[in-house]
């Protein structure tokens, strides 16, 4: 890891160390271990006040920081492999699967422009990237789906089916 990346990540560790300093929708954001600044974990909980369909859920994000960070974007995905609630750091169990147009249901991969090398800006932090994912939850893009089934429900504007599918997985985290 370059010294610039190391300095930047140490700064971000310091900025996110106090959960009270994080936005309400980010429960936690920290390295997975003190000895490895390249692998982070975040727990997000979309705000009910925003009217989010995902507001009842806690979701874990796995973040892999490349050696060239912040010149290259982090790789972020939803943790669909971890047993629900294990190490959650949240009051409620972690949702393991997320029905969303722009999230691969099986792998947790996220389709979000700012996470692509040609759209990433070194001015962004891990916290801003995680916030962008929170915003994405309520702003699905069915034209660039990783989950075709959810995209079809959005194209058909079947609000009843959309709410039913999301409620099923968000209220049934295991």
- Write out the catalytic residue numbers: 111
Q: How far apart are alpha carbons 114 and 128 in whole angstroms?
A: 10
Contact 133, 140 (CB under 8 A): no
Pure H helices in 35-158: 126-137, 148-155
Q: How far apart are alpha carbons 124 and 144 in whole angstroms?
A: 23
Q: How far apart are alpha carbons 87 and 112 in whole angstroms?
A: 26
SS3 166: helix
Give 16: exposed, middle or buried? Use CB within 10 Å, 0-12, 13-18, 19+.
Answer: buried
Q: How far apart are alpha carbons 47 and 49 in whole angstroms?
A: 5
Beta bridge partners of 44: 26, 59
Contact 32, 147 (CB under 8 A): no
Contact 110, 76 (CB under 8 A): yes
């Amino acid at each position: 890891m370059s010294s610039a990346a190391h300095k930047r990540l140490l700064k971000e560790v310091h900025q996110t160390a106090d959960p009270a300093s994080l936005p309400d929708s980010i429960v936690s954001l920290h390295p997975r271990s003190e000895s490895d600044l390249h692998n982070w974990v975040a727990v997000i909980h979309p705000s009910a006040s925003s009217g989010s369909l995902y507001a009842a859920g806690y979701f874990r994000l796995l973040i892999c920081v490349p050696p060239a960070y912040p010149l290259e974007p982090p790789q972020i995905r939803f943790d669909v492999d971890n047993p629900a609630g294990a190490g959650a750091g949240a009051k409620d169990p972690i949702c393991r699967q997320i029905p969303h147009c722009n999230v691969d249901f099986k792998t947790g991969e996220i389709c979000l422009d700012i996470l692509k090398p040609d759209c990433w800006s070194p001015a962004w932090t891990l916290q801003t990237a995680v916030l962008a994912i929170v915003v994405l939850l309520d702003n699905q893009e069915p034209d660039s789906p990783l989950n075709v089934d959810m995209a079809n429900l959005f194209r058909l504007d079947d609000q009843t089916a959309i709410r039913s599918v999301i409620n099923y997985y968000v209220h049934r985290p295991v």
